Chain A
């Protein structure tokens, strides 16, 4: 197990690299979901405020 973690001496470069890649992968998932939630909340608010007919046609 320790041999695996040591990665033949490259550990101090290898694991941070994996950490960065992993972080960006997870961050993108979080960002995307948050962005969608925010867009849905905005749309809900717009529908509630403007209703059906005000939104069609020209943007207020």
Chain B
């Protein structure tokens, strides 16, 4: 590198990957809040699906309580999968995703930021609403905090894992079902540990063990999923 070029490079401020990622996160949150009606949709879906189970099985809370963890988790899983569609679609259509890939900044961090925004916009609200539906399914009061914690952790893992499938199918038309088919088998460990944790919480037993396993999956997803998603985005954009 010539002396002139070196001085130019040292003078221009190159924002670190983290700062750029933060900007991307803030952007996604701001854009989402402009279309607030869209944010409600996954939540409404979650509540409706949860309501379908008593309607199709029994109104007896005593009989619903044992299956409440399963119902909450399956509904959360399906809602998150539906919402994953929004993760990359708009940005892929208007070319922002391409800009991210070409920008020379770390695509991994940018995608992590988008996934984090997705979790804040869907997973966290789901986790906060889950206690209400949980009560409707017979969950006792002392378990509500446990429900929030377990579902929040699980949806974080789901957003991360789902970002890979979403990145792989970003160019595919009507990819909703395919995305679900790809992600659901991979999401089984999240479902197993998460539902077990919620179940123990409802039974007023310690749910540390499955929660720790779930947290381990979250850590694994945090480290690997954005990398895989970045590779997938690059493939989809070619």
A and B touch in the complex (CB under 8 A): no
Interface residues of A (CB under 8 A from B): none
Interface residues of B (CB under 8 A from A): none
